[in-house]
Structure 1
Amino acid sequence: MPENTANSDANTAIIAALNDRARRRLDHCRWILTQGVLACDPITVAELLIAVEDFDGFTPDNDPYAEHDFGAIELSGDTFFWKIDYYDLDLQMHSPDPSDPTITARVLTVMLAEEY
């Protein structure tokens, strides 16, 4: 395997692990709930947040880059998406290296699919 591919695969595995930790609220990550999510009843919101934390349905179709940064959840007759984005620590621009948690702020947004 060429060195660049090995480094890329290693970075992808690190990013996926950091995203899993962030999604499970084990690590620093900002969570944003959209207006559509906040308009749902509180029980649905609680169930949704647990479903996001527990999500493990990653496939090549929904996770083509193997970063564990997106998921879709069916709950109470609605489809919800969650997405992790990578920013610099000041939240001004994209992180130059999402595999480095010392320079990356993760933001997880939970939304109704129709808000995407």
Structure 2
Amino acid sequence: MSAGIAALPAAKRDAIAMAVRQFSDFNADNDPHGEHDCAVVAVPGRRIIWKIDYYPRDDSGADPDPTDPATTKRVLTIMLAEEY
């Protein structure tokens, strides 16, 4: 999580985490590649951006198959929209 998210009260952080976990409104506008790896969610009083980045597990810079969890690690970032 970003510094902005970390600075929020625990109850707000919990609500944000739940909103990210439950997000399923992917469509052609917010997910044009069908990857389900980024979205903007609204939590009362805040716009939140979350995204998933993919990295090779061996840190080589090249991943033969980003869909394979054996070769790819995924990192979820949750941030306030204004931190983007």
Tell me the equivalent position of 1:110: 78
Q: TM-score, normalised by structure 2?
A: 0.91
Distance 1:77 1:41 in 2: 13
> Is 1:75 aligned to residue 35 of structure 2?
no
Tell me the equivalent position of 1:85: 53
For the 8 Å contact 1:95–1:105, the answer to whether it is kept is: no
RMSD (Å), alpha carbons: 1.4
> Is 1:99 aligned to residue 67 of structure 2?
yes
Q: TM-score, normalised by structure 1?
A: 0.67
Q: Cα–Cα, structure 1 residues 89 and 65, in superposed 2: closer, same or farther, change >3 Å?
A: same
Structure with the bigger percentage of helix: 1
Structure 1 gap segments, 5+ residues each? 1-32
Q: Spell out, residue by residue over 1:64-107, the C-alpha distance to the aligned partner (whole angstroms, 9 max, x if none).
A: 10010011111121100000000011456363421111100000
Query: Percent of aligned pairs with the same residue?
Result: 44
For the 8 Å contact 1:72–1:80, the answer to whether it is kept is: yes
3-state SS, counterpart of residue 35 of structure 2: coil
For the 8 Å contact 1:80–1:113, the answer to whether it is kept is: yes
Structure 2 gap segments, 5+ residues each? none
> Is 1:64 aligned to residue 32 of structure 2?
yes
- Number of equivalenced pairs: 84
> Is 1:55 aligned to residue 28 of structure 2?
no
Please list every run of at least 4 consecutive aligned residues from structure 1 whose deviation after the TM superposition is greater than 4 angstroms. none
Distance 2:3 2:63 in 1: 26
Q: Cα–Cα, structure 1 residues 93 and 36, in superposed 2: closer, same or farther, change >3 Å?
A: farther
